[in-house]
Chain A
Amino acid sequence: MIFSSLLFIFWFMPVFFIVYYLVPMKLKNIVLFIGSLIFYGWGEPKYLILLGISILVNYFAGRLIDRAKRRNSTVNSTENAEEKAGGEGLGKPVLIGALAFDIGMLFFFKYINFFIDNINAVTGAGLSRVNITLPLGISFYTFQIMSYVIDLYRGKVRVETSLIDLGTYLCMFPQLIAGPIVVYSDVSEALKSRIISPAGVEEGLKLFILGLGSKVLIANSAGALWKELETIGYSALSSPMAWLGMLAYTLQIYFDFNGYSMMAIGLGRMLGFEFPKNFNLPYTSLSITEYWRRWHMTLSGWFKEYLYIPLGGNRRGPVRKVFNLFIVWFITGFWHGADWNFILWGLYFFVLLMAERAGLGRFLEGNRVIARIYSLLAIGFGWMLFAISDLRQLGVYLSRLFVGGVSNEILYYVRNYGVILLAGCLLSSGLGNRLYEKIKDRRLIVIPVLTGIFVLCTAYLADASYNPFLYFRF
């Protein structure tokens, strides 16, 4: 199920929230757990099994790590240091086993066909592809559950003894499918007890509606333009059309992803949870370094905490640091999709970040106008790497940006998409946030506006199913 659907808004929400608010606190987690399983299983019930296995494996791994640690601490107080190493040694293989399982599942379900294709291409081995579809949200929930076992091993969180509570953490429907990546330590306390306040519900609902509007009114509309360019075929695009397409995709992906995160954070608040912020006006950045501090913040945070720092971060000298960053960006790219263009996309940012560290950053600090143009172009080009998997097609698209010539079709597209793209530009520039700050205490403005956005979203979702037959069937 997805948030931006009539099914979620007018069936799942009323039924789920009525039950959730009516049951006493100690039953809320089980209601949330079951509700989340229905939410997840709606589209593809078979992958519920995968999710269930993941919960069980990590739950028991957690219990074993905890037992090893506790034995270790009692041993530590009475016996010598040699025994201590032995105690840790028991926790470590369990941790490694759990991580191997988690990464193995992700590898198999997301990347196996990529490797088969490439092995075939290089060796001509002719291995046959595995017939699997990517389980919904596996990239997200794998990272979330890994945060639990790693933090437990590090002693940063306490063991979760309730299978229901751990399951609730992992499956919680707001962030299960597309983030934000909520690490266990973010919500461990709220899982045990949380306050659901009317003010929190009101705030959460506001965020949900704003997110829904981002997704349905802006992202879908900009996405329609991008899709149309794909249909036309990149080789037939004029230069202005190619630039317009790049703008449309850049806006689509931000309003889509940020919209989804806002809906998740809003729903979380309605449930009594505080999820971390995921985006902070990334397109206002004046460098790529800054951009990655503002874009998908929970993912960058995860990679820093669970990959960059364990690799040694910047503590092992400059060469090792560059190597570590290379690994991080390689994997960041690869995490986004099992294709070469995603790896290229990750490494593209690695190169830009290195350049900024090497001196470009200092230059940009002194030239704000250039810095803004540079950042926006770098982000836009990046999205083209991201959007077009076929590297030959990517080359075609990029060349059309400069040598596509001009045709008057641009008039039609500017007329049809100009307003929404302009709105997208203004909102992603931070203007919308400043405006909202100004009016947010004026109920007479905010409430009608948000209600209006909600009604319009319903209208657009209803229209998506509207399908008159152009040719008479009767």
Chain B
Amino acid sequence: MFERIRNNTLTIIISVMILMCFAGYLANRDAVFSESENRYLAARPKLTPAGLADGSFMEQFELYTEERLPLRDMMIRLKAVTEQIQLKNENNGIARGKDGFLFEKLVKTDEQLNKNKAALVNFAGKCGRDINICIVPNSCEILEDKLPAGFPGVSQKSEIGDLYASLLTYDNVNTIDVSDTLSEHRDEYIYYRTDHHWTTQGAYYGYVRLCDEMGLKPVSMDRLSGKRRDVQDFYGTYYSKYKGYGVGPDILTYYDIPVSYYEAGGESHDGMYDTGKLKVYDKYAMFMYGNEGLATVRSMPDEGEDKRSELILFKDSYSNCLTPFLTYNYDTITVVDLRYYNRPVDELLGEHEDADILLLYNFMHYNEDNHFYRLVTNRAD
């Protein structure tokens, strides 16, 4: 008996592991929400004749086995650490540079970028009104001295330059380049170490530059400093992917700027900040209550000087921490996130005939998001 166990130790160990894991799967049936991945993980699919026939059962079952492996988070962490032991400084497309900074690697622009460029140019021609366009580079473009040695990647500046060059012929377009401004401040805390967004500080520098270009008077930091709130222990999306050691938490800052009215996705709120989100993993989602198709901000009448009446802001999540500053310059800001906005854009522009127009996106979004076509889809289409 003893001899048999001795001779089959590996069989016994592996069998026990496989069977325990199998038992764990049997207990994992329903969908659960994964905070670090910010999405629901698959539930076990029901076996139906139709599902078998079209193969969807098999597909979903496979997805379920991948997403619901018992101890999955631990396993993912183990993989990240194993990669680090191999001296790798990249995991899941995120690379660790100096001082604990994480960067997203993009070695080639997506096909989508050309479509997005065409959509923007098309919009510029079709719209007929003055528009301001700003593509914000990501941390890997600006924080050159924090990058890992030999870090490969497309030049975001030259891609942004390409876009701006193709908009040159349109007199109604004002292209705004924030790269230099951000580069000047690159020794400050302008990008998160563990997240793909710029910090509120970085967004402020961007805001000042936008104001210069759009003829607005930026609110000064002195006026804001009393409203500053810092939140510790923020781990962002880059960290979710990277998962390795040697990366500290970020500090998330917001300025408690009061507004008279805020409505996002059809719900009205007391302010622009969803402070409940500060207790969960996804802290950045506190700005503007996350991303909604349509949001409206009305500023306090007594905050800000020489205010203009209205702005329409087409944006991604990068602008969520910048929008609060703009309340010092506009009475009303209509915020549109094309990913979740289904109505024709020309209709919306018609309803706000006198509004200024600003398109504010980060480079990665411009590179890969496939909703820019909505800018030029008309009622008639």
Q: Which A residues fall within an 8 A CB radius of B?
A: 5-7, 9-11, 13-15, 42-45, 198-199, 201-202, 205-206, 209, 228, 231-233, 408-413, 415-420, 443, 446-447, 450-451, 454-456, 458-474
Contacts and interface: CB of A to CB of B under 8 A. Distances in A.
Interface in B313-336: 316-317
B75 interface: yes
Contact of A418 (B4, B18, B87): B87
Contacts of A202: 7-8, 10-11
Contacts of B166: none
Contacts of B38: 468-469, 472-474
Nearest to A11: B65
Contacts of A471: 196, 237, 316-317, 365, 369
A420 B196 CA distance: 29
Contact of B61 (A7, A14, A473): A7
Nearest to A9: B18
B354 interface: no
Contact of A43 (B11, B58, B284): B58
Contacts of B65: 5-7, 10-11
Contact of B69 (A6, A45, A455, A467): A6
Nearest to A412: B150
A387 to B, nearest CB: 18
B107 A228 contact: yes
A465 B149 contact: no
A462 B61 CA distance: 15
Contact of A443 (B6, B75, B80): B6
Contacts of A468: 36-39, 237, 240-241
Main secondary structure of the interface of A (DSSP, over half): helix
Given A45-B52, A456-B82, A470-B364, 6 more contacts: A15-B22, A44-B55, A232-B108, A412-B149, A465-B63, A471-B237
Contacts of A420: 86
B149 A411 contact: yes
Contacts of B76: 459, 462-463, 466
Which of B7, B14, B151, B196 has its CB near the most chain A CB atoms (within 10 A)?
Answer: B14
A462 B69 contact: yes
Tell me which of B36, B58, B65, B364 has the highest count of chain A C-beta atoms within 10 A of its own C-beta: B65
Given A14-B19, A411-B149, A471-B365, A201 B11 contact: yes
A14 B23 CA distance: 10
A10 B55 contact: no
Given A416-B89, A454-B14, A474-B290, A408 B37 contact: no
B78 A459 contact: yes
The interface centre, meaning the residue of A206, A412, A447, A461 with most chain B CB atoms within 10 A of its CB, is A412
B17 interface: yes
Contacts of A419: 86-88
Interface string B257-279: 00000000000000000000000
Nearest to B106: A231
A43 B39 CA distance: 26
B93 to A, nearest CB: 9
Nearest to B238: A470
Contact of B241 (A9, A232, A462, A470): A470
Nearest to B152: A409
